[in-house]
Amino acid sequence: MEKEEILMKAQEENKGKDVADLDAQRKGAYIAYFVGLFLIIIWDVVEGIRFHHINYGGNMALFAMAFTAFLVKYVNLKKRHELFVSLVYGLGAVAFLVLWILQLIGVMS
């Protein structure tokens, strides 16, 4: 097989996608997730110290992101563990959503 034939075959298998670009996007999303996680934890700590309560909206967003990530992973891999983890994060997202709504309407501070 010549170099051009190998390249053409690889492009056909990847359906025109640049594997290096996809890998870079995946790594970027992974790092961005942990940056967001770190910032929301800092946000909770600062609000807890300064205002003696936390805003549950950020936690709801964090759990919704994790739910989405694990649900997509389950859809692609069909592993029951991924489904279980996504459901736990989904329940957490719903719980924080309820708490956030209760904060917004003034039931909780």
pLDDT tens, residue order, the chain (109 aa)? 677 777 777 667 666 667 778 788 888 988 998 898 899 999 999 999 999 989 899 999 999 999 999 999 999 999 999 999 999 999 999 999 999 999 999 998 7
Which of 36, 37, 58 lies closest to 47, judged by CA?
A: 58
pLDDT (0 to 100) of residue 17:
67
pLDDT (0 to 100) of residue 22:
79
- Is-contact 69 36, C-beta < 8 A? no
For the whole model, what pTM was predicted?
0.71
- Is-contact 65 37, C-beta < 8 A? no
Find how far residue 54's CA is from the centre of its chain: 21
